[in-house]
């Protein structure tokens, strides 16, 4: 039996969630002899590794100390996208007049209702990651904290699991930045923000990375006054500056107060509230906020695993050290997902777990460096990226040519009122080989898959230009980039040849 776990608020939806992903009456099985694979952590990486290995006939144990489904289901992708959809609905109402639709005065967001909708959807999705489902797949599911007892043994809840191979898939958690006063105030992280039931009238968000930006826009659209603090200039510092500039304008239009180039940030408790101090662009801010959300990066979960006993090298910031085959310094032990990767995305964790199955169980030679990993930040508009940025190609000494199709020349984007964006594709100079792409568009996350497919299978921009896209769609912008490339090949010399041929055949 395991101890009870409560996810707040304690309502019918969260009880259903917990019943699925950490049932209070769960009885851990008796360990079977030696396992082909012991998986520590039942987030995306662990679930995919366990299900994949069991499906191939391996004897598998899966160990989870908290909620199966990990961050993605419980505190990450699922709840964030759940409330983003409510925020998008609110924005549609707010901007409805631009579309000739008059909404009566007095309309209001029901924040509690939006959060309950999210909890209900999350509970429904949780069936897929449930302990019972994984037991039914033939996996021994152990609920409890796992730690290594030696190079080929893991201990969990008083039981010892022996393994031929193991996977560390313990994920990451919100990092706590060294901001003066932070340890004196109560602040939210991704583990607590989705438990809110009342809209904070003023919320401070520290960190304008993907999580900070998605939630800043969401809270603003749902009615909070939002102060978004970022140490660098603008938002989403990793992204193409023109792309992040478009999203920045959108956040500001939605009412987010962006305090970028923030210096001397500190916080202080002030009765029921907190005060947020920051210097931004030569101005001092001292803002009282009801809630403070910290979203400044992720720290790998390496503590408490007794990695020393297993001979697994790690770094408290970068996580478990792995080679390109995702093998740790102990050849029996692999790692996958946020605990060992700089690509902290669910789909990256999924594909790393597939590599581990091949390499750990079948002496495969699959390499993480061969993965083409796209990503997306689900603001409005979304920013999606795949491959290299120009700053990276420059560092690597690769000359590129860049083709950009603005959305204000794409009929569907014009008709939807979504012209702030573009599709930008970088190719190796003198070729049509795609090295990277950034898309800013309402559904950039869906659109980037076409470019990812092309990159994964070595299809160049010429091939994209040959693909018929339905009219009118925003994805047509991708084909138009192919047209731009083809037109760029039409040099004056080629044009003069065409002209001569056409004159001759008149």
Q: Does 43 bind ligand FAD (CB under 6 A)?
A: yes
Backbone φ and ψ for 123, nearest 5 degrees, come out as -60, -40
State how beta strands 159-168 and 153-156 pair: antiparallel
- The DSSP 8-state label assigned to residue 493 in this structure reads H
Q: Does 17 bind ligand FAD (CB under 6 A)?
A: no
Interhelix angle 444-456/476-488, nearest 10 degrees:
50
Question: Contact region for ligand FAD (CB under 6 A) — 76-84, 398-406, 412-420, 492-500?
Answer: 76-84
Tell me how far, at minimum, the Cβ of 63 lies from ligand FAD, in Å.
5
Q: What is the distance between the alpha carbons of residues 346 and 58, in angstroms, rounded to a whole number? A: 24
Q: Does 296 bind ligand FAD (CB under 6 A)?
A: no
Tell me how far, at minimum, the Cβ of 111 lies from ligand FAD, in Å.
18
Site string for ligand FAD, 80-109 (x = CB under 6 A): xx----------------------------
Q: What is the distance between the alpha carbons of residues 433 and 398, in angstroms, rounded to a whole number? A: 12
Q: Among residues 63, 289, 357, 464, which is the contact residue for ligand FAD, using CB under 6 A?
A: 63
Place of tokens 């438990």: 195
Tell me how far, at minimum, the Cβ of 142 lies from ligand FAD, in Å.
8
H/E element, 481: helix 476-488
Q: Does 70 bind ligand FAD (CB under 6 A)?
A: yes
Which residue, 344 or 480, is less far from ligand FAD as judged by CB? 344
> Within 163-202, which residues bind ligand FAD (CB under 6 A)?
169-172, 190
Structure token digits, residue 213: 């930006």
Burial class, 423, CB count within 10 angstroms (exposed 0-12 / middle 13-18 / buried 19+): buried
Q: Which whole-number Å values give the CA distances from 250 to 109, 213, 340, 420, 436, in the listed order?
A: 20, 11, 33, 9, 24
Q: Does 146 bind ligand FAD (CB under 6 A)?
A: yes
Q: Among residues 17, 42, 167, 481, which is the contact residue for ligand FAD, using CB under 6 A?
A: 42
Pair 85, 218: CB distance under 8 Å? no
Which residue, 157 or 453, is less far from ligand FAD as judged by CB? 157
Pair 267, 233: CB distance under 8 Å? no
Q: Does 344 bind ligand FAD (CB under 6 A)?
A: yes
The CB density around residue 259, as the number of other CB atoms within 10 Å, is 24
Tell me how far, at minimum, the Cβ of 423 lies from ligand FAD, in Å.
21
Q: Does 60 bind ligand FAD (CB under 6 A)?
A: no
Site string for ligand FAD, 299-328 (x = CB under 6 A): --x--xx-----------------------
Q: Among residues 51, 349, 366, 478, which is the contact residue for ligand FAD, using CB under 6 A?
A: 349
Give the binding-site size for ligand FAD (rule: CB under 6 A): 40
Q: Among residues 277, 345, 351, 403, which is the contact residue for ligand FAD, using CB under 6 A?
A: 345
Tell me how far, at minimum, the Cβ of 349 lies from ligand FAD, in Å.
4
Q: Does 40 bind ligand FAD (CB under 6 A)?
A: yes
The CB density around residue 337, as the number of other CB atoms within 10 Å, is 37
- Taken as a whole, the chain contains a residue count of 506
Place of tokens 């924040």: 111
Q: Does 379 bind ligand FAD (CB under 6 A)?
A: no
Interhelix angle 12-21/111-125, nearest 10 degrees:
20
List, in sequence order, every residue forming a beta bridge with 37; answer none if it has no partner. Answer: 60, 165
Tell me how far, at minimum, the Cβ of 487 lies from ligand FAD, in Å.
35
Q: Among residues 9, 24, 145, 245, which is the contact residue for ligand FAD, using CB under 6 A?
A: 145
Q: How far is CA 224 from the centre of its chain?
A: 24
Q: Does 254 bind ligand FAD (CB under 6 A)?
A: no
Q: Does 355 bind ligand FAD (CB under 6 A)?
A: no
Q: What is the distance between the alpha carbons of residues 223 and 87, in angstroms, rounded to a whole number? A: 9
The CB density around residue 420, as the number of other CB atoms within 10 Å, is 20
Which residue, 382 or 476, is less far from ligand FAD as judged by CB? 382
Which residue, 342 or 363, is less far from ligand FAD as judged by CB? 342
Structure token digits, residue 414: 């014009």
Please report, as ranges, the residues that interact with ligand FAD according to CB under 6 A.
40-46, 63-67, 70-72, 75-77, 80-81, 145-146, 169-172, 190, 211, 301, 304-305, 337-339, 344-347, 349, 378
């Amino acid at each position: 039996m395991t101890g009870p776990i409560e996810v707040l608020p304690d309502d019918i939806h969260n009880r259903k969630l917990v019943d699925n992903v950490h049932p209070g009456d769960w009885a851990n099985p008796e360990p079977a002899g030696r396992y082909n694979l012991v998986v520590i952590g039942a987030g995306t990486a662990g679930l995919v590794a366990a299900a994949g290995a069991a499906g191939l006939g391996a004897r598998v144990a899966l160990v989870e100390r908290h909620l199966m489904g990990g961050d993605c289901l419980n505190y990450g992708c699922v709840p964030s996208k759940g409330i983003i959809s409510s925020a998008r609905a609110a924005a549609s109402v707010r901007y409805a007049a631009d579309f000739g639709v008059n909404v009566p005065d007095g309309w209001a967001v029901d924040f509690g209702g939006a959060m309950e909708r999210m909890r209900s959807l999350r509970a429904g999705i949780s069936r897929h990651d449930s302990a019972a489902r994984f037991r039914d797949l033939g996996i021994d599911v152990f609920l409890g904290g796992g730690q290594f007892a030696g190079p080929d043994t893991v201990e969990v809840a008083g039981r010892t699991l022996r393994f031929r191979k193991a996977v560390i898939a313990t994920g990451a958690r919100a990092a706590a930045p060294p901001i003066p006063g932070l340890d004196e105030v109560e602040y939210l992280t991704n583990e607590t923000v989705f438990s809110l039931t009342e809209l904070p009238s003023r919320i401070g968000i520290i960190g304008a990375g993907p999580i900070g930006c998605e939630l800043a826009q969401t809270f603003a659209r749902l009615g909070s006054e939002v102060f978004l603090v970022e140490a660098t200039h603008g938002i989403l510092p990793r992204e193409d500056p023109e792309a992040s500039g478009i999203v920045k304008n959108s956040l500001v239009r939605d009412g987010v107060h962006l305090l970028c180039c923030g210096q001397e940030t500190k916080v202080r408790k002030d009765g029921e509230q907190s005060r947020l101090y920051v210097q931004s662009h030569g101005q001092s801010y001292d803002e009282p906020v009801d809630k403070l959300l910290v979203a400044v990066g992720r720290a790998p979960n390496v503590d408490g695993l007794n990695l020393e006993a297993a001979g697994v090298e790690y770094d408290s910031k970068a996580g478990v050290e792995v080679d390109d085959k995702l093998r740790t310094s102990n050849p029996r032990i692999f790692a996958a997902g946020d605990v060992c990767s700089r690509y902290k995305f669910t789909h990256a964790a999924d594909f790393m777990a597939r590599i581990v199955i091949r390499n750990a169980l079948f002496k495969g030679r699959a390499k993480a460096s061969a993965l083409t990993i796209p990503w997306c930040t689900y603001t409005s508009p979304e920013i999606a990226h795949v491959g290299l940025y120009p700053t990276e190609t420059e560092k690597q000494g690769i000359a590129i040519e860049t083709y950009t199709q603005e959305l204000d020349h794409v009929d569907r984007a014009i008709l939807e009122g979504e012209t702030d964006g573009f599709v930008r594709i970088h190719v190796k100079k003198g070729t049509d080989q795609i090295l990277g792409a950034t898309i800013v568009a309402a559904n950039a996350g869906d659109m980037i898959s076409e470019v990812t497919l092309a990159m994964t299978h070595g299809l160049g921009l010429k091939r994209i230009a040959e693909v018929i896209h339905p009219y009118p769609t925003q994805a047509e912008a991708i084909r138009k980039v192919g047209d731009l490339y083809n037109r760029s090949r039409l040099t004056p010399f080629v044009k003069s040849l065409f002209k001569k041929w056409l004159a001759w055949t008149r």
